[in-house]
A = this chain, B = another copy of it.
Amino acid sequence: MENTIDLAESITAAKCSENLSSVEDAIYVIGGKWKLKIIIVLQESGNIRFNELQRNIRGISARVLSNELKDLELNGFVKRVVHAEQTPVVVEYISTDYSRTLRNVIIALSDWGKMHKRNIRTEAFLSQ
C-alpha cells in the first residue's frame, strides 16, 4: 500500500513538472506586467513609434517601455526600424512573425479575462 502511494505520487510529480516547466519557461519570457501588452499593441497597429506606443499602453513610463522593448527585441518579438533618412530620426517598432506564435496564448488569456470580468460583476451583484 505504501508503495502504491509512493508510485502514484511520483507519477503525479513527473506529470506536474513536465507541464510546470513548460509554463515556467513561457512565463519567464513573456511574463511580467508589460510584455504581452506591448506585443498585443504592436501586433494590432502594424508599425508604431515610441511615443505613440507609450500613449497606447496606459501607465508605462518611457524608461520601462524602453527596457521592455530591448528585452523583446533580444527575444525576437519586436523589430526596431530606424529611418535615418529623416531628421529628427524616425524610429518604428514592428512585431515579428515569431511574436505571432503567441496567438493562442493571447486568445486564451483574452477569453479568460472577458469571462472573469463578467463573473466578477455577477458576484458583486449577488453579494449585495
Contacts and interface: CB of A to CB of B under 8 A. Distances in A.
Interface of A: 12-13, 15-17, 19-27, 29, 31-33, 36-37, 40-41, 44-45, 56-57, 101-102, 104-117
B105 A108 contact: yes
Nearest to A29: B116
A104 to B, nearest CB: 4
Contacts of A44: 12, 15-16, 19
Nearest to A17: B56
A114 to B, nearest CB: 5
B16 A112 contact: no
Given A12-B44, A15-B44, A16-B41, A23 B101 contact: no
